[in-house]
Amino acid sequence: MSTRLTSSGDADVAQLPERAGPLDVWPASTAPLPDGDLAVGGVPLASVARTVGTPAYVLDEAEVRDRCRRYRAAFPDGEVLYAAKAFLCRAMAHWIHEEGLGLDVCSAGELELAVAAGFPPERVVLHGNAKSPADLAAAVRHDVGRVVIDDPSEVAPLAAAGTPERPRRVLLRVVPGITAGAHHKIRTGTEGQKFGVSMTDGSAQHTLTRILGHPTLRLTGLHCHLGSQITSVKPYLVAVRRLTGLLARVREQHGVTLPELDIGGGHGVAYRPGEESLDLGDLARRVRTALTESCAAAGVAVPRLTVEPGRAVAGPAGVALYRVVTVKRTGGATFVAVDGGMSDNPRPALYGVRYAPRLVGRRGSGTYRRVTVVGRHCEAGDVLTEDVPLPSDVRAGDLLAVPVAGAYHLSMASGYNLVGRPPVVAVRDGEARTLVRRETAADLRGRDLGL
């Protein structure tokens, strides 16, 4: 799809009172229209739904670019890597490259897509707790900027792929022993989970010694990742201090000064009005101060700082669109069922995340009732959000829009019930274009080779 979609004049938009709740978790370009619709990037959401159908994801290109620029401004002397696992397509890789960010990938698939989009491999970092031989081979073939060693077993194959004249650049992911993150399933900085090597049992120090013993490897620094949806700066400050201590021990024991410190991402965003998000400016100021002070106290040079935002770049730039299929009132509750669900957004079922859907495309009644918005799938846990206000006259055929849908939606989408994954439509300056087409029944049949 590539078509010109226009909204009403600015005067009408400005005069319309906002009656269905604040827009503070929506893309900055979001504007209410007189007919009850919303425009994002100058494109009415109802027009997108009519053109490509539902479910569908809408991605505000200007919002993505603006968030990239905010990160570059907050860390002017550091490196910002966009975490591709949040959402990646060729257009997204192109935007990230143009805005001066690097890329953090977790598989050969993500790497190959980025390279196909023209992303420079030297600005790519490969992560992963269980990198397959194919993942490592792709990293070597494309000569990525760095590989993050997550397990000692990765040392030998990477060393074999380098030469003393051209050593393979690596980071070591360590576990700083910090509990952070909105849900226990997305806390990755604690002991007893699958990522990284422990600082407390000597594994990190042993692996560091192994890496430094290989002339075909160049250890450029330390890496950690604390978790996801973190809204407090404090865990990052603790991580900086603990990793600075390890930097000092490496210099004392091996005479090596490591020039990089990657503190990962996990920067939290608000999914509903009133929720907390991580203050980027506060994070940048306090982390830089903590790093400078810790290095001075330890007597080591200040390393280059790297951060890895994913959700905080893509999440608030996205909107999910659904059609209401049924409205069922039973057992004293009202269930509004839509034509998508856990196949296009498993996060509510996985982590208990809740969203703030909104009726768009028409004006609803002036009264609201609290409802549970559910999906179409054969699971009792297929719940998008509970106890949210929607107009009391919401009915089948209505269009619901869900903000903060740009991260971990399509990237985690599944083939459950064979409904097909939704398309992604980019909007900017009144233009809409399809970035990723809808997965069709023909696509699903094509993968099945038959009896």
- Active-site positions read 378
Decide: helix, strand or coil at residue 265.
coil
Is the separation of the CB atoms in 320 and 358 below 8 Å?
no
Decide: helix, strand or coil at residue 227.
strand
- β-strand partners of 303: none
Q: What sections of 77-171 are H helices per DSSP?
A: 90-98, 108-116, 133-142, 155-160
Question: What residue ranges in 302-430 does DSSP mark as E strands?
Answer: 304-307, 318-330, 333-338, 358-360, 368-374, 383-391, 399-403, 424-428
Report CA torsion sign: 43, 46, 51, 54: positive
What angle is formed at CA 349 by the lines to CA 348 and CA 352, rounded to 5 degrees?
50
Name the amino acid, one letter, at 361.
G
Other beta carbons less than 10 A from residue 107's beta carbon: 18
For residue 267, what is the DSSP state? B
Tokens (6 digits) for 60: 């505000």
What angle is formed at CA 167 by the lines to CA 166 and CA 171, rounded to 5 degrees?
145
**Distance separating alpha carbons of residues 322 and 402, to the nearest angstrom:** 8
Is the separation of the CB atoms in 399 and 359 below 8 Å?
yes
φ and ψ at 399, to 5 degrees?
-105, 125
Tokens (6 digits) for 102: 């690097």
Q: What sections of 132-254 are H helices per DSSP?
A: 133-142, 155-160, 203-212, 234-254
**Distance separating alpha carbons of residues 289 and 287, to the nearest angstrom:** 5
Residue whose entry in the numeric block shows the structure tokens 């080591």: 300
